[in-house]
Amino acid sequence: MLSELSSLINSKVPNAKAEVINPEEGSLGEGSILVAPESIYAVCEFLKTNDKYSFNALQVISGVDYLECIEVNYMLGNFDVNNPRQLILKTKLTDRVNPRLDSVCGLWHAANYQERECYDMLGVTFNNHPDHRRILCPDDWEGFPLRKDYMTQKYYRDMEVFPDDKMNYEEREFIVRQKQMEEDLKKRMLERGM
By CB under 8 A, name the binding residues for other proteins.
137-138, 145, 150, 152, 156-157, 159-163, 166-168, 171-173
Q: How far is CA 74 from CA 28, 35, 111, 135, 183, in A?
A: 19, 11, 9, 18, 44
Q: Return the number of other C-beta atoms located less than 10 Å from residue 177's C-beta.
A: 10
Min separation Cβ 72 and other proteins, Å: 22
**3-state DSSP assignment of residue 116:** helix
Min separation Cβ 137 and other proteins, Å: 7
Query: Considering beta carbons, is residue 172 or 187 the nearer one to other proteins?
Result: 172
Query: Considering beta carbons, is residue 14 or 163 the nearer one to other proteins?
Result: 163
The sign of the CA dihedral 60, 53, 19, 31 is: positive
CA–CA separation, 174 vs 3, rounded Å?
44
Query: Considering beta carbons, is residue 166 or 192 the nearer one to other proteins?
Result: 166
Min separation Cβ 97 and other proteins, Å: 21
Query: Considering beta carbons, is residue 167 or 185 the nearer one to other proteins?
Result: 167
